[in-house]
A and B are shown apart, each in its own frame.
Chain A
Amino acid sequence: MTELGPFQFQTASYLVRIGNQSANTLLELRKELEECSDESVFYHTFQSLGRHHFLTEGFSNDFAQWVLASCNKPALAERLASVDIRDYVSLTELRTDLLRIVKEYCGQNVTDAAWAAFEPFYFCETIEQQVPLGIEAKDLEEFRTGLGDLPHASLQFHFITSRLRLHLHTNDFSQWLLKELACKDLAKRIDQIDIYTNTLDGARTKILRLVDKELEQ
């Protein structure tokens, strides 16, 4: 949503491009993470969370999952998993923090860092295809109706990946509710919903409840 006015519900479909990079060790992960594209960082973090939105315990991003399942390094996996994508409005910053964690571990565990993983990590990248759904909302009632019927990809687009488009620590819904309807408290409460401990459907239910409460008032 680049300009305010009615809320335009959009969706995004993702094409996955297979990169020519892969990592067989943590040292290789460090090297490739430094060199891969921003679209690749996006695919393995933001988009990974969307692909696995139904998991509410312990899944954060592809890097952490690979380190846990293929390298059997739970301590490093935990640190990588604790990187919260909501803290980032740019992929450069996100990459920097992920790299810092991997570099620190490799520096402190030189032998482990060279061990071959059970399975390689394949770097892929996202190509986004954004499409309007042809649904718009001019007020809170219409917003509620639109939100109730949104497909998962659209929820992910507006609620999670929107930070990178807005370059703000918020989401499309909260931004519109704040700027267009002046619902400051509602916008804040919606942005506080934890996407790591809620499924997308769970997050939607919570947003709907908050909107209902606002409508009652």
Chain B
Amino acid sequence: MTQVQAQSPIRPDPDSRAPMQRSQQEVPRTSTLEDYAKLLGESEIVELRALASRMKGKSVSMINSTSVGGGVAEMLNRIVPLVSELQVPIRWDVINGENEFFAITKAFHNALQGGPFDLPEESFQKFLANSEQNRARLKFDTDFVVIHDPQPVALIDARQEKNGHWVWRCHIDLSQPNRKVWNFLAPYVHRYDGAVFSSPAFARQLPIPQYLSSPSIDPLSDKNRDLEAEVIERVVEHFGIDPYRPMLLQVSRFDRAKDPVGVVRAYQIVKRYVDCQLVLAGGSATDDPEGEAVLAELREVAGKDPDIHILDLPPWSAQEINALQRAATIVIQKSLREGFGLTVTEALWKKKPVVASAVGGIPSQVIHKHSGLLAHSVEGTAYQIRFLLANPAIAQRLGEQGHEHVRENFLIISNVRRVVTLFLHFLR
């Protein structure tokens, strides 16, 4: 078993004259519609502009709880400039709050996804008091106000009669919420014109219309852009992976919900038939007691197998993750519970055959036998992996179709189109 700690990942060498590193430095931080046109075709952007032209004179504000870190901020960082480029005035506001407020909203976040809620009653009043401060500070003068996630949900209090269209964009799984927290928040949600969820499985029965908007990946980001072969080779070599034998990969944090131990068990079954390697690449678990326990368990199950590589990577490892995904023979996502599963989207975009559990948002991406294979157990996962290793032509076809599926449905440009379409729907 090889273990690599947080300090090890490759960082681009500023002194290197390797073409990949130079081209990386030249890539603009914010991609424009023209950049996407080169990748997806001019007609897709022409279509987007035609849609957005219907929004002439309308303005939008997006409100969330942070400008950096986390998937929502990452998404808004990409979407806001693109909407603006479509000549739709758009503003992005972030709510303020003390640490105590964010501790409360973190507890809300966990409770809404089915966890317990142990904070005192006064937490609810503190939450509302903070919301009131933000209501007084922020402007709500746009035609569309999109509130992201539960933290700013009570800003709906700022809505005056006929004051624009208000949409609540919920990025979390609300299917099994803690009753106490949901009963507190639901009256606010019910006052919006509509709610948007990432999967029908995450929605609830609400008295307002609910819409679907899948999360998306950015094909031009460090994690997804094309890499030159030599960069991939260097990453593989750095982590001690044999480039000449099949490599199975799961990218996810070390969390029981991702079932890394189940992945090792599946690999061990496959290994009886095929000489392969397993790479488990995840985030650092140093501040997460359960993560440490999972890692310990994982190490025990992995034993001394030199073909199991457990990579504990820091958050700035986008390029390494990209390279590992591109180097993999098969990508696994054997989650027991899952949100949308963007690591699956990333693998499909890279034309990789994927074997994944049929949970959360995964079945909408892995269309069984078309864009990957679904499994429901350790043995089933092992069987599907063996099948793909023995049938590389089928594996290749699944990967190519998976790529097309992502291209059509789960890229940032599709996301922008859905946002604009939602606004146009409200204008009808």
Chain A residues, CB < 8 A from B47? 11, 13, 131, 133, 151, 153-154
Chain A residues, CB < 8 A from B409? 51
> How far is it, in angstroms, between the C-alpha of A51 and the C-alpha of B200 when the chains are bound?
16
Q: Which of B404-420 contact A (CB under 8 A)?
A: 404-405, 408-409, 417-418, 420
> How far is it, in angstroms, between the C-alpha of A149 and the C-alpha of B41 when the chains are bound?
9
> How far is it, in angstroms, between the C-alpha of A171 and the C-alpha of B363 when the chains are bound?
32
B51: CB under 8 A from chain A? yes
Contact in complex: A131, B401 (CB < 8 Å): no
A4: CB under 8 A from chain B? no
> How far is it, in angstroms, between the C-alpha of A129 and the C-alpha of B54 when the chains are bound?
11
B358: CB under 8 A from chain A? yes
| B162 shortest CB reach to chain A, Å | 22
Chain A residues, CB < 8 A from B41? 151
Contact in complex: B421, A13 (CB < 8 Å): yes
Interface size on A, residues (CB 8 A): 39
With A15-B425, A124-B212 in contact, is A119–B203 under 8 Å at CB? Answer: no
Chain B residues, CB < 8 A from A22? 200
| B270 shortest CB reach to chain A, Å | 22
> How far is it, in angstroms, between the C-alpha of A118 and the C-alpha of B211 when the chains are bound?
24
With A124-B200, A153-B47 in contact, is A15–B405 under 8 Å at CB? Answer: no
> How far is it, in angstroms, between the C-alpha of A85 and the C-alpha of B12 when the chains are bound?
52
With A13-B421, A18-B197, A131-B51 in contact, is A69–B363 under 8 Å at CB? Answer: yes
Query: Chain A 107-119 against B: per-residue CB contact (8 Å), 1 yes, 0 no?
Result: 0000000000011
Contact in complex: A16, B50 (CB < 8 Å): no
Query: Chain A 124-160 against B: per-residue CB contact (8 Å), 1 yes, 0 no?
Result: 1001010111100000000000000111111000000
Query: Chain B 352-382 against A: per-residue CB contact (8 Å), 1 yes, 0 no?
Result: 0000001100010001111000101000000
| B146 shortest CB reach to chain A, Å | 14
Query: Chain A 3-18 against B: per-residue CB contact (8 Å), 1 yes, 0 no?
Result: 0000000010111111
Contact in complex: A68, B367 (CB < 8 Å): no
Chain B residues, CB < 8 A from A15? 211, 418, 421-422, 425
Contact in complex: B212, A54 (CB < 8 Å): no
> How far is it, in angstroms, between the C-alpha of A53 and the C-alpha of B50 when the chains are bound?
23
Q: Which of B248-282 contact A (CB under 8 A)?
A: none
Q: In chain A, what residue has the closest Cβ to B371?
A: A55
B115: CB under 8 A from chain A? no
Of the listed residues A15, A52, A131, the one surrounded by the most CB atoms of chain B closer than 10 A to its CB is A15
| B54 shortest CB reach to chain A, Å | 6
Contact in complex: A131, B405 (CB < 8 Å): no
Chain A residues, CB < 8 A from B212? 16-18, 124
B228: CB under 8 A from chain A? no
Q: In chain A, what residue has the closest Cβ to B367?
A: A65
Pick from A13, A65, A152: contact of B408, CB under 8 Å: A152
> How far is it, in angstroms, between the C-alpha of A68 and the C-alpha of B369 when the chains are bound?
10
Q: In chain A, what residue has the closest Cβ to B212?
A: A16
| B384 shortest CB reach to chain A, Å | 13
Chain B residues, CB < 8 A from A18? 197, 200, 203, 210-212
Query: Chain B 182-222 against A: per-residue CB contact (8 Å), 1 yes, 0 no?
Result: 00000000000000010011010100011111000000000
> How far is it, in angstroms, between the C-alpha of A68 and the C-alpha of B401 when the chains are bound?
18
B1: CB under 8 A from chain A? no
Closest 3 CB pairs of A and B: A122-B200, A54-B404, A69-B368
Apart from A19-B200, A54-B404, A150-B43, what are 6 other A-B pairs with CB-CB below 8 Å? A17-B210, A54-B405, A65-B367, A127-B425, A149-B46, A151-B46
26 A-B pairs, CB-CB below 8 angstroms?
Answer: A11-B50, A13-B424, A15-B211, A15-B422, A15-B425, A16-B213, A17-B210, A18-B200, A18-B210, A52-B367, A52-B405, A53-B408, A54-B408, A55-B367, A58-B370, A68-B368, A69-B363, A69-B369, A118-B376, A122-B200, A124-B212, A127-B425, A129-B425, A131-B47, A134-B50, A151-B46
